[in-house]
Each structure stands twice: as structure tokens, then as C-alpha cells.
Amino acid sequence: MSYAIIRTGGKQFRVESGRSYKIPSLVGDAGASVEFNDVLLGSDGSNVKTGVPSLSGAKVTGEIVRQGRGEKIIVFKMKRRKNYAKKQGHRQGFTEVKINDITLG
């Protein structure tokens, strides 16, 4: 089982070929291909390669499945006895990406 750890959107994800992942928003429409060059660690099933800080020549390619927005969270701030209360909602955008190929350098 080959996998890789990539960095995108300020976060790190452990990805495998053929699976879909929700990552922070990327530019592109559904069906467009995307390439991740910031590969921190990669494994082909028997050997593990680590980068300092990233693997040179390694890349992960995928396809954008859809763009969307996550579940709504409620941000509520209040100061008791001060007549202050603020309620605000937030939905974080995401891009669903299906990983096609993992190439280790």
C-alpha cells in the first residue's frame, strides 16, 4: 500500500491512490487536474522515504471532484453583565480531490 504525506493549505494530509479527500479550497473547476509538489514523506509499501523538509522530485497528482462548503459552525461571544452578545456563523470552503497517482523521487 503506497501512501504519501503532502502539505497544502497550511495542513498536512496522508493520502493514498484512489481515495478522495476534502482539503482547503483550491482554484479550479470539477474535472481539472491538480498536482501537489510539497511531499513530506512517501512510502511504496516496503520502503519509506522522508524529505528534509520535502522530497525532491516527488509529486502527487489528483483530480478535482467538486468544490463545496463545510458544515456551519456557530461563533458566540458574550460578556456577562455587560449587555454584549454576538452570534456569528461560519462555513469553511473545501475542495474534494481524488488522488490518482503518487510518484516518489
- Looking at the predicted structure, is the pLDDT value of residue 15 above 90? yes
pLDDT at residue 18 greater than cutoff 90: yes
Instruction: Look up the pTM and report it.
Output: 0.85
Is pLDDT at 37 greater than 90 in this prediction? Answer: yes
DSSP 31-83: T-EEEE--EEEEE-SS-EEE-SSS-TT-EEEEEEEEEEE---EEEEEEETTTT
State how far the Cα of 69 lies from the Cα of 22, in Å rounded to an integer: 10
pLDDT tens across 67-102, in order? 999 999 999 999 999 999 999 999 999 999 999 999
